[in-house]
């Protein structure tokens, strides 16, 4: 699979068969009443949770790029995200903040959460997800800077392993003026910290 294209096409039948094998491996009977529909439901669930492979985030952004003489920070914060950790296929969830400094081009605001969803609905690690969102915005809009921060809770840390219920992972990707200008970076971090505190 590549970053912008779809992953390998796997039909529901293959996914359902794999789920049956997993259930048998757990010592369960996939044909018993409570589990008879589980392979189908899991296949449908995975198809939705990984639907981001079928969309090109850069094309989505290009659909709504507009020429505009606006040069102040654009920030979309508290974007809910849900994804699957590629190491354990267990969910992680949280919120994403995305900001950019326009350079004669802006993008429709609804496209920012859409980009977050496209990348989140793939098997992911939080670090890569953060960078992918920032790089897509940078490539398509070509702003003076992009900043992305994700704060997420990982069920693979909460339900298993270290079992730390209150841990939050925070990742960031700062490009352009958000990286080079302490003032710009400080303004961005100040705006999102108000959200975090609330």
The verdict on whether 97 is a catalytic residue reads no
**Number of Cβ atoms within 10 Å of the Cβ of 66:** 11
Catalytic-labelled residue, pool 12, 28, 88, 196: 88
Catalytic-labelled residue, pool 63, 86, 127, 170: 86
Catalytic-labelled residue, pool 156, 179, 187, 196: 156
The verdict on whether 12 is a catalytic residue reads no
Catalytic-labelled residue, pool 16, 50, 55, 85: 85
The verdict on whether 126 is a catalytic residue reads yes
The verdict on whether 87 is a catalytic residue reads yes
Closest CA relative to residue 160, chosen from 113, 92, 107: 92
The token pair that represents 78 in the structure block? 């508290």
On whether the CB atoms of residues 116 and 79 are closer than 8 A, the answer is: yes
On whether the CB atoms of residues 129 and 120 are closer than 8 A, the answer is: yes
Q: Which whole-number Å values give the CA distances from 124 to 91, 145, 175, in the listed order?
A: 10, 24, 21
The verdict on whether 50 is a catalytic residue reads no
Catalytic-labelled residue, pool 126, 132, 151, 177: 126
Catalytic-labelled residue, pool 97, 132, 154, 173: 154
Residue corresponding to tokens 């200008």 = 181
The verdict on whether 96 is a catalytic residue reads no
Phi (first) and psi of residue 122, to 5 degrees = -145, 165
Catalytic-labelled residue, pool 44, 59, 87, 139: 87
Q: Return the sign of the alpha-carbon dihedral for residues 1, 64, 94, 172.
A: positive
The verdict on whether 85 is a catalytic residue reads yes
DSSP 85-135: ETTT--EEEEEEEEEEE-SSEEE-TTHHHHHHHHHHSSEE-HHHHHHHHHH
Residues identified as active-site: 85-88, 126, 154, 156
């Amino acid at each position: 699979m590549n970053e912008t294209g779809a992953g390998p096409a796997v039909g529901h039948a293959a996914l359902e068969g794999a789920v049956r094998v997993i259930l048998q491996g757990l010592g369960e009977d996939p044909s018993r009443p409570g589990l008879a529909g589980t392979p189908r439901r899991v296949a449908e669930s995975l198809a939705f949770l990984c639907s981001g492979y079928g969309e090109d985030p850069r094309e989505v952004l290009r659909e709504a790029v507009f020429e505009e003489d606006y040069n102040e920070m654009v920030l979309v914060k508290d974007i809910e995200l849900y994804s699957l950790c590629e190491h354990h296929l267990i969910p992680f969830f949280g919120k994403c903040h995305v900001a950019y400094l326009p350079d004669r081009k802006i993008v429709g605001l609804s496209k920012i959460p859409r980009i977050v969803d496209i990348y989140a609905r793939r098997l992911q690690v939080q670090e890569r997800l953060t960078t992918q969102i920032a790089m897509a915005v940078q490539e398509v809009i070509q702003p003076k800077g992009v900043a992305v921060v994700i704060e997420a809770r990982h069920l693979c840390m909460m339900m298993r392993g270290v079992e730390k219920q209150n841990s939050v992972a925070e990742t960031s990707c700062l490009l352009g003026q958000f990286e080079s200008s302490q003032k710009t970076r400080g303004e961005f971090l100040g705006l999102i910290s108000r959200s975090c505190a609330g």
